[in-house]
Every structure is written in structure tokens, then in C-alpha cells.
Structure 1
Amino acid sequence: MTRLNSTSVAHSEVDLLREEFAGEVVEAADPSYEESRAVFNAMIEARPAVIALCQTVEDVARAVAFARDHGLEVSIRGGGHSVAGMGTTEGGLVVDLRRMTAVHVDPEAMTARVAGGATMSHLDRATERFGLATTGGRVSTTGVGGFVLGGGTGWIDRKFGLACDNLLAADVVTADGALVHASAEENPELFWALHGGGGNFGVVTSLTLRLHPLPSITAALMLWSRDAGPDVVRAFRDFAEQAPDEVGGGVLYLTGPPEEFVPEHLVGSLTCAALVTYAGDERDGREAVRPMQELGHEGGMTAQLPYAELQCMLDDPPGLRNYWSAEYLGEVPDEAVDLFCARADQMIMPSSSQHVLFPQGGQVSRPDTDYPLPWRKAPWCVHPFGLWDDPADDERGRQWARDVRADMLPWSIGAVYLNFIGNEGAERIVAGLGEDNYRRLAAVKRQYDPDNVFHRNHNIKPA
């Protein structure tokens, strides 16, 4: 296959693609191009030659074939949240799934069939009416496909497992245009690879997910001034390590938001916060969060609410500049707490940045599978999540995240959830999946994508 420059794709050739396309094909001269090419991370300025807004599975196959025939690099866009901008490409073709958002819920079987471009909001709102849910990302705008294929950690994973633990089947358009069904019974090796291997093996056009009863969830958000941070983080560490599986959440530093439940002296200031969630009824939930509330927080709120509402509480606006990373820790001793809290002072303020310590454990660490997710065994994750407005802050924001990682290395297990990081090199990808797993994944890659057409991801090279 010859790799061509994007300018060599004639407009007349793109028009031929349009003729058989149910969705929309966008080029740079089209009025919707600038809006269509934008991704969540405003640092990413890639300009694709063609954006194929797919409406059907056939559109996906046609778009992949067109890209291959014309030597164009392929990227797959679902939610567009990749911090490294992997959902777009410079001068290539974007297989854009944003018009494929249908969610079909079977309340008796307690499953949902989710189209490849659906976001967590589409899924959560569809399951909410039946009192059902499955593990989702911590914001509602995350794309379900990329989230699940990378593993998928969220507020209720300690109770219901990672998102991919709830993956029952997937439909995949491969590099040769074939539609392949993957499940435990059909193409089981591909099915295994989709539990952490990301979009390396094709375009996932639908996922079938297991659902669980969850009519509502209790959430307690508690706020303190920055000086209380070390005591709060230690208390949360000790609380979470003894908590039942129903308890989730995290402790974090953030800019105090202008909300009614935030005292005036914390608004716009560096604030330490603890969010405790409980996947169960409100009475048990309020009892579960009581040890943290007894610390005497300065502001906050406790509420029983639908899971879908919790999911959008911390939504970040698009158009900000992003840089994130993570380290997964075997323990969080007092020395690590002190370093974590001290590094909060270097966050860009005020901003939407968050400096987070998440607990794992529960069903996350008790799988009955061999999926390529070695990071799930770690009891803790540190996640510097940087978002800011001013390009002048780019290097400062990136360095802050790198410094957080460096601080935590003495307690790191080495493995990392790849959805939480950008382009940090091939060694980090292998570490995130595990060396033995990586070799097995590379063999699956060779079978389904021997030419590495789908390389705009945390790439697994064909064996």
C-alpha cells in the first residue's frame, strides 16, 4: 500500500465516497470542517484530509476501504477524549462514529447493546429508566467504546468490576472491511484482546454490556482548605482501605467552584475535597460515608441521586488544554501522602485541573479472568489531570504531571491504565499491558490487522 500525501486525494475521489455514504463526508473546504475536526483537548490542532461521519456499519467499512485505497492514515473517533489526540490525524481520514449513538436496553436480560459512537450520557440515560447501570467513566462525555476497550474504571467499579469485565460481545469492522463478532464463544482470542487492547484490532461498531440493578446512588462531596489536605488524605486512605465494595470515590485537590455548597473562602482557591459514593440505598450510604463526614468538613453536600446525574457532576467543558498521566501504587504511606499534597501547590490555579488519588480494590482486584490489565491489582491510583486555558501554561502543566509521577515512583507497580495517559512511549504501553500479554496481543493484531492500519492508539505492533 502506498502512503500518499493528503493533498493527492482528489475532491472528485471524495465525491465518489459521498455517493454511497449514508452519513456525511467532510473536507477542509466544507463549512462544518472546523467544528467537525475539534477534539476534547484544545492542544490538538490536527487537520484531517477527510472526516467520515459514519451513520451505519457499512459507512465504517467504506471509510476504512477508502483510506486504505488512497494511502491515508486512519484514526477512529468516538468520544474524542484521548489526551494525545488519537481520535484524529494530520492529513489522514477520521472514521468518526459520533452519529452512531443508539443504545438498546433489554431489562429482562439486563444487557445493553451500545453503538460505537455513544457516550456515557447516552448509555446512562438509556439504562436509568430501568433502574439499571454498568461501570462508566467519571464524566458523562466519555465515549463508551474507547472507555470499555481500554479497561474502564469509574465510581462503581469496586462493586461491579471494570467496564470491560461487563463486556459480553462486540462487533468489529477489521482492516480488510469484514464485520467480525467477538464473544467468549465466537472469536474468543479477539474478545480477550478487546479487554484492554483498545482500538488496535478494528473499528468497534457495537458493544453488548452487562447491566446491574442500581436505582440510585448516594454521593457525599466534602471540602476543606488546602492546609487540611494531609490529614484529609490520610483519613481517606484509611477509610477506603476498610470500606465495603459498595464504596467508591476519591480524594483530590481542585479549584473551589462557585456553588452554593462551597464556602466563600474556598471559591477560586486551592481546595482539598473527598468524594465518597455508595452503590446502594441512601440509609446505608449515609452510614458508610459517616467516618469521613466526622472529620468536620468546611463545605459540601450529600445527596441520593440517579447514577446518570452523578456521572455528569464533574463534567469538564470542551475546548480546554489537557495533559494527564497516572501512576498505580502498591501502597500509600505517609511519605507518599506528603509528596502528593505538596505537589498540589504547583497546579495551575484557578483552572479545571484535578489532582486525584483513587482507591481500587473490591471487584476490580478480584477478577476471574486473565484480561491484559495488570494495573487492576494496585490498590491505589494517582492521577494528575491537568486542564487550563492559556497556551503559555502548556509546559508548566505538563511538567506538573510528570513531577507527580516522579514523586510516586518509589511506590509504583509499573503497570498503568492506558486510557489515563497520553503518548508516553512504547515501554509504557508494554508495562500497561504486561509483557506476556503484549506478546499475545501482538499475535491477535497480526491476525486482524497485519499492516497496522489501526495505529492511532496505544499501539500494539503486529507480531
Structure 2
Amino acid sequence: MGPHISESALSGLVEDLAGEVIVPGDPDYDEARRIHNAMIDRRPSVIARCATPADVSNAILFGRSCELPVAVRGGGHSVAGSSMIDGALVIDLSRMHAVVVDPEDMTVRVEGGATMGRLDHACQPFHLATTGGRVSTTGVAGFALGGGSGWLERKFGLASDNLLAADLITAEGKHVHTDTEENPDLFWALHGGGGNFGVATSLTLRLHELPRMSFVMLFFLPDKAPEVVRAYRDLTAAAPDEVGGGAIYLPAPPEPFVPPELVGKLVCGALLTYAGPVEEVRELAAPLFALKPEIAIDTDIAYTDLQCMLDDPPGLRNYWSAEYLTSFPDEAVDVFCARGAEIPMPTATQHVLFPLGGAVTAGAGPYPQPWRTAPWGVHPFATWEDPAMDEPAIQWVKDVRADARPWSIDSVYLNFTGAEGEQRVVDSFGEENYRRLAAVKAAYDPDNVFRFNHNITPTAA
């Protein structure tokens, strides 16, 4: 326990919580402090596994009274490990994971600790969905409040575009509701501003009909990659909004559809996801099929299965970043492919080009997300097991970013990045948006209690 925690204060927290309190030495302490990125090995002073919004309020007041840093854990997927801080009080929302679907209103209410897998499985029986993360273990709240980029974004917009209401507990332990009518400045700030303003105990999201989902996944040997990526670029630039996906360099996974001689070898993949039947996306993918892939998969698929298709196994070390591009000309394709061919091996690293456009661009509106006007995003996603690979894997991600700079904008989807400095945060929102966000932050968290995130410094307007 930290130096400011008395036995009586800790006993009071235990009594106040419907959930549980975990401290160093407890049998489940090490499991409770484990998060997605295995590079992060931190030891908080107290983990408050909250069961209700009242628990969250009580935990915040306890942490502040004991002068502890306060971190918040939803899905635990922050690549910087923001949800687990040495010597902190960690507000763990994993027990608050209820998902309630209203098929008549086409909405879903999601508690603050729910994962994408829980959300997707609750919506699937009604053939409804909203834009979700590309990994099923991602926490819904952090994902959506950070913007929320996923396979369906070109059709249904970002997750934050589908945010209808939110309930937060502030740094003062008070409950605040926000939507377009109530606390509208806070509602605006939650469209990309993340967890800066309070602990989200529930979100209400808009749902959309999704009766069919399909995909085409093609794998090519690296020598064909420049031709493949150009064809993918041209195809998706003219594709209907139902199309998502990405061009991806990766080591071929040990899956039944991969020939043994290719497993672990570097390949270039072209993935087309489609909100519709496989016959239609197969036709759209004809220029890629014409390039004669080594492996071809095309099938209808349940959205829930698509969402977990790229789930990476637990226990891996992670370092990611991103750049968003004004254009992706042939020169950029060549640079992208050259760096893809240099993925550090052996790793499970992915080098991804995402198409944006569609509803992502059309729905830009007034929100503090300038990056969404870019037509392309490059996402170097390094994952590996051996600590000896730390330096080359991290350097490779930085090199990808440097490669993309001639075509990149300053703004970036921050959920794809780790701790890259204050200026990266300011640039990603834009200076005018950042000033407004800082004023909202000053209104709801003037002491910057919730600072373990892509932090916005509170400054009065």
C-alpha cells in the first residue's frame, strides 16, 4: 500500500464497495494488474474492482483523500498501459459489463467495463451492430470515447458518431449525464477526448441493421506486394461505403488455411470486409484475384466472428503508432512496401494501410477529430514475445512513421498511439479544438485527476 493509506481508510473503502478491493499480497493481485501489453509491469497500491457507479464514486473519493494517483481500467488495451500505474488507485470496471439492446429504438446501453465481444454478441441475435474495434477484447468505453475506428466505419461512421448519451462520474465523485441537450459541451468533448473528463459508467450507442457480413482475404508473396497494394488502393478508393478492410504485411499465421511452408513467412495480405453478401464483395475483389494470390478466402461470416478474427494472443509485447495521409501515390506505395518487407522477425507484427472515406469523412462535422478527413491511415502494429526484440520492433514503428511524413497530416487517431508527447495530442485535436477541450476539462476535472491518458491539460476558457 502507498504511504498515505491508513488501515482505517482501506477498511472504509472495503465497506463502501459492493465490488472488491485488491491490494499487494492478495492472491489475485498479480492477475488483476495484468493488462494487454506485456511490456507493462506496474504495481498499483489499490485496485478497486467496482460493481456500481456508486462504487466508482466512492473509489475516486478514497483515492483523492489518500493522495493517490487515479487510473481507470476498462478493457486494459491502452498500448501505453495508462490503466495500470505504479502506486496508484486503479478503478477497475471489468465487473460493470452489462449490455442491454433495445431493438425497437435501435440503441444499446453499454456499461463502462464491457468489451467489444460482449457488445457484438448481444446485438448479433437482432442482426444489429454499431462500429466496433477490430479486436473483441477492446473495451467499448475507451474505444468509443477516443473516436472508435473499425471495419464498419465507412458505412456507419466512427463509434463516436453513434454515441447518443453517456453517464460519467467526475473527479468530485458526482454523477453527470450528457447528450446533445444536457451538458452539450461535455458531449462534444467526448467525441475523441477519451477519459479526460470522468469515468464513463455507461454509454448509449446507435445501432444499425446488419443482416449480412462477408469478407475476402488474399495472401501474396512479398515480391507482388507493390502491385497488390496499388490494386487495393485503386479498388477501395472507388468502392461503396459497405467496403472496409486493409492492406496488411504480416507473418502468415499458423491457421489451417495456410500451407505449412508459408507459416511464419512474411506475406502481403489484402482484406476486404463487406456489409453484404460474399458474392458482391467477390466481384469487387476481381482485380486482386487476377493477381493470383497464394491463399484466397472468401466467405459470408457472422460479424461477431469477423470481430475476433484478428485477436492477438495474450502475453505479447506491444508498440503501435499511426500516421494519417493526405494521399497515397505510387511513391508512398513503394515506401510502404519497402518498410513492410523489413518487419522485424520473428514477431506477430502487422503493417497496415486502412482506407477511410465514406461516412468517416462525411460525418466529420464539428467534432475534434481532424484526422478523419484523411483518405488513408498507416498503422504500424508491432507485437512480439521476446524482450530482446524490444529495440528493433520499436524502431521499426518509428521508421514507418518517418517514412509516412511526406504525405501525413499532423492529426492522428490517438487510440492507435502510445505516449508520444503533449504536442502529438495537441496536433491531433488541432489547436482551436484543444483550447475548447481544455476549457471543458477545467470545468469537469480542474485538478487533472484523470491524467493517465492522452492528456488534455485543464485551462479555463
Question: Who is 2:80 aligned against?
Answer: 84
Q: Deviation per CA, 1:189-210: give whole Å up to 9, x if none.
A: 0000000000000000000000
Cα distance change on mapping 1:210 and 1:339 into 2, 3 Å: same
Question: Who is 1:45 aligned against?
Answer: 41
User: 1: CA distance between counterparts of 2:431 and 2:423?
Assistant: 10
Question: Who is 2:202 aligned against?
Answer: 206
> What secondary structure does 1:52 align onto?
strand
Farther-moved stretch of structure 1 (294-303 vs 116-125)? 294-303
Farther-moved stretch of structure 1 (137-146 vs 213-222)? 213-222
Report the residue type matching 1:241 in the other structure. A
Question: Who is 1:131 aligned against?
Answer: 127
Conserved? CA contact 2:353–2:379, under 8 Å: yes
Q: 1:425 aligns with which of 421, 426, 435?
A: 421
Q: Does 1:400 align with 2:426?
A: no
Q: 1:290 aligns with which of 286, 295, 299?
A: 286
Q: Does 1:151 align with 2:147?
A: yes
How much identity, in percent, do the aligned residues show?
Answer: 60
Q: Does 1:245 align with 2:241?
A: yes
Conserved? CA contact 2:445–2:458, under 8 Å: yes
Q: 2:336 aligns with which of 335, 340, 347?
A: 340
Conserved? CA contact 1:343–1:404, under 8 Å: yes
User: 1: CA distance between counterparts of 2:412 and 2:399?
Assistant: 16
Give the number of aligned pairs. Answer: 459
Q: 1:353 aligns with which of 349, 355, 363?
A: 349
Q: 1:391 aligns with which of 387, 397, 401?
A: 387
User: 1: CA distance between counterparts of 2:259 and 2:292?
Assistant: 14
Q: Deviation per CA, 1:209-235: give whole Å up to 9, x if none.
A: 000000231111100111111111111
Q: 2:111 aligns with which of 95, 103, 115?
A: 115
Per the normalisation by structure 1, the TM-score is 0.97
Conserved? CA contact 1:258–1:267, under 8 Å: yes
Question: Who is 1:32 aligned against?
Answer: 28
Conserved? CA contact 2:9–2:62, under 8 Å: no
Question: Who is 1:229 aligned against?
Answer: 225
Q: Does 1:102 align with 2:101?
A: no
Conserved? CA contact 1:77–1:88, under 8 Å: yes
User: 1: CA distance between counterparts of 2:248 and 2:255?
Assistant: 17
User: 1: CA distance between counterparts of 2:320 and 2:46?
Assistant: 28
Farther-moved stretch of structure 1 (368-377 vs 160-169)? 368-377
User: 2: CA distance between counterparts of 1:300 and 1:13?
Assistant: 60
Report the residue type matching 1:322 in the other structure. N
Question: Who is 2:276 aligned against?
Answer: 280
Q: Does 1:68 align with 2:64?
A: yes
CA-CA distance at 1:45 after TM superposition: 1.1
Report the residue type matching 1:156 in the other structure. L
> What secondary structure does 1:252 align onto?
strand
> What secondary structure does 1:129 align onto?
helix
CA-CA distance at 1:295 after TM superposition: 2.1
Conserved? CA contact 1:263–1:298, under 8 Å: no
Conserved? CA contact 2:216–2:281, under 8 Å: no
Report the residue type matching 1:85 in the other structure. G
Conserved? CA contact 2:79–2:320, under 8 Å: yes
Conserved? CA contact 1:230–1:341, under 8 Å: yes
> What secondary structure does 1:396 align onto?
helix
Conserved? CA contact 2:272–2:281, under 8 Å: no
> What secondary structure does 2:341 align onto?
helix
Q: 2:156 aligns with which of 150, 156, 160?
A: 160
Conserved? CA contact 1:269–1:350, under 8 Å: no
Q: Deviation per CA, 1:117-159: give whole Å up to 9, x if none.
A: 0000000000001000000001101100000000001111000
> What secondary structure does 1:31 align onto?
coil
Q: Does 1:170 align with 2:191?
A: no
Conserved? CA contact 2:364–2:372, under 8 Å: no
Per the normalisation by structure 2, the TM-score is 0.98
Conserved? CA contact 1:262–1:300, under 8 Å: no
User: 2: CA distance between counterparts of 1:257 and 1:175?
Assistant: 44
Unaligned runs of 5+ in 1: none
Q: 1:19 aligns with which of 15, 19, 22?
A: 15
> What secondary structure does 2:126 align onto?
coil
Farther-moved stretch of structure 1 (51-60 vs 12-21)? 12-21
User: 2: CA distance between counterparts of 1:19 and 1:201?
Assistant: 27
User: 2: CA distance between counterparts of 1:266 and 1:29?
Assistant: 46
CA-CA distance at 1:457 after TM superposition: 0.4
User: 2: CA distance between counterparts of 1:192 and 1:20?
Assistant: 33
CA-CA distance at 1:258 after TM superposition: 1.8
> What secondary structure does 2:254 align onto?
coil
CA RMSD of the aligned region, Å?
Answer: 1.1
Question: Who is 2:431 aligned against?
Answer: 435
Report the residue type matching 1:355 in the other structure. H
Conserved? CA contact 1:196–1:372, under 8 Å: yes
Question: Who is 2:191 aligned against?
Answer: 195
Question: Who is 1:307 aligned against?
Answer: 303
User: 2: CA distance between counterparts of 1:292 and 1:206?
Assistant: 42
User: 2: CA distance between counterparts of 1:289 and 1:99?
Assistant: 42
Report the residue type matching 2:232 in the other structure. F
Report the residue type matching 1:376 in the other structure. R
Question: Who is 1:331 aligned against?
Answer: 327
Report the residue type matching 1:66 in the other structure. F
Report the residue type matching 1:373 in the other structure. Q
CA-CA distance at 1:368 after TM superposition: 5.8
Q: 2:313 aligns with which of 317, 341, 347?
A: 317
Conserved? CA contact 1:152–1:163, under 8 Å: yes
Report the residue type matching 1:247 in the other structure. V
User: 1: CA distance between counterparts of 2:287 and 2:74?
Assistant: 40
User: 2: CA distance between counterparts of 1:297 and 1:368?
Assistant: 36
